[in-house]
Amino acid sequence: MNGLCILDSTRDPASARYRETVNAGDYWLHELKAGEVLRIVDLEGNQAVDTLFFNAQDPHDRYSAVDTIRAQGNVFLTAGSVLLAQSGQPLVEIVADTCGRHDTLGGACAAESNMVRYALDKRYMHNCRDSFLLALAEHDIGLTKRDLGHNVNFFMNVPVTPEGGLTFADGISEPGKYVEVKACCDVIVLVSNCPQLNNPCNAYNPTPVEMIVWEN
C-alpha cells in the first residue's frame, strides 16, 4: 500500500499543555505519558523531522522499523500505523495525519553518509546523527550512541523503486501539514529537525517545526 491516507484531527492547539517551535538543526527531547498526543507541525512545508522513540520504562527497548513494517505490511507510515519497539511493545500510534505518508527506511543523515553520498567536504556539515548525539550528551537518560537505531522521517518523501531501491525526492508536505502520534505507553521522543542541505528532503531549505502536546 503506497497511497496517501489523510485523517484530520479535532484537537485544538489552544487546549494543549505544551507548545514549542524547534528550529532547523536543533533537537527536541521529551517524554510522553501513556495516552498523551504529540502533534508535529510542518510550519513552512517539505521539512524532514527525524524521530526516535524509546520505551521510557526500558529505554533500551527502542523503535523497530523492521517489526513495524512487518506487522503492518507497508513500508510507509500513515494514519493507523502502530510503531512497535524491538520487544513488540506498541510505542505510539499515528492517530491523525494531513500529509499522508512518512518514511522509515531512509535513516538519519550523518557525517559519514554526507561524505559518501555527496562529497568529502560535506562530512563536517551539521546532520541529524550529530543532533541525536548532542541530545544524549546533554541529557542523562541512560542512552548512548549504541542506542541510536531505526528512526522515522516524518514528512520525508523516499519513494521505493520497482527494483527495491530508495530515492530521495521532493517532499509531499505543505505549510501547516501535521502528524499526530498517541503514546501507547510512557515514551521518550527524540527529534532532530533535519538540517540537510544536499538532497531535496527539505526542499534544500531547512525550516522550523512546531511540537504540540495534549494530555490524555
Tell whether the model's pLDDT for residue 126 goes beyond 80: no
Distance CA 79, CA 163 (A): 26
As a whole number, mean pLDDT of residues 64-68 equals 98
Strand spans (E) along 24-105: 27-32, 37-42, 49-55, 58-62, 82-84, 90-97
Q: Quickly state the pLDDT bin for 5 (edges 50, 70, 90).
A: confident
In the predicted model, what is the mean pLDDT of residues 134-152? Answer: 94
Nearest to 116 by CA among 205, 206, 25, 198: 198
